Amino acid sequence: MSEKNKKSGADDSLDVIPQLSLDCVIFGFHDSTLKVLLLKWKGLEEYSLPGGFVKQDESVDDAAVRVLKERTGLDKIFLRQFHTFGKVKRYDNLALQKKLSHMLDEEVFQERVVSIGYYALVDYEKVFPNPDKFTDKCEWYDLIDVPELLFDHNDILNKGLKALRLELSFQPIGLNLLPEKFTMPDMQRMYEAILDKKIDPRNFQKKILKTGIVIRLKEVKKGVAHKSPYLYKFDQKRYKEVLEDGGLFFI
């Protein structure tokens, strides 16, 4: 491999479609906060969303699964394609090329790249964040603390969050963001974090229990300051039925 190829990170065995990429908005929920997984680039104090190019011999969905497994260590992830970013000029190519010149050759930068956006929902506790060859950190950020990102990734993140909110009532959001056992306040705070607004706790619990999508366990949550709340788990079959029959539109 030439010095030029070493610098660009090129891999002769990686046959990709150079003008087709994907970017992933990976959401997690922890400590009552919605989080997103970001990559910190080598030699810079700047971050981006995880992503990559699509190989010639794989579908775009398979490419997204591959990228997500590489960054999170998980191979079973809730994944939704939400938007195609296809503007002719998505960001300042020359400025970005200069900023990343210590790592990437000019040949790597295409005049135009179309990117497919995916959002993923993961159990925060099960993720083992892994940086890629261009980055030295892969870490969670509270959604409200996300800095200015490279490329057009703030726009991609905002559209991913909007898509999540629009699909909140008819996708198994809780099943993918919450741990196996959770309290009713945990579930409520998850919805509040996504929607960025408060929900009346009495009505919330009443309506959730009425759907039958959760099962109350005999266990209680330990180590809390006040009265220990009961733990719940999802009735996955009932959850699926409710979503197929019209969803959780009271949220």
Predicted confidence (pLDDT) per residue in 115-173, tens digit = 999 999 999 999 999 999 999 999 999 999 999 999 999 999 999 999 999 999 999 99
% of the chain residues with pLDDT over 90: 75
Distance CA 196, CA 158 (A): 13
Fold for the domain defined by 182-244: Arc Repressor Mutant, subunit A (1.10.10)
Query: Is residue 4 scored above 60 in pLDDT?
Result: no
Mean pLDDT score across all residues of the chain: 89
Distance (Å) of CA 155 to CA 40, 82, 149, 238: 18, 13, 9, 36
The reported pTM is: 0.89
Per-residue pLDDT tens for 220-233? 987 665 678 899 99
Fold of 3-166: Nucleoside Triphosphate Pyrophosphohydrolase (3.90.79)
Q: How do the domains of the chain map onto residue ranges?
A: 3-166, 182-244
Burial of 63 (0-12, 13-18, 19+ CB in 10 A): buried
Helix axes 184-195, 201-211, angle to 10 degrees: 110
Tens digits of residue pLDDT in 186-199: 999 999 999 999 99
> According to the model, what pLDDT value does residue 10 have?
43
Residue 12, C-beta contacts closer than 8 angstroms, at least 6 positions apart:
1, 5
Tokens of 192: 């509040």
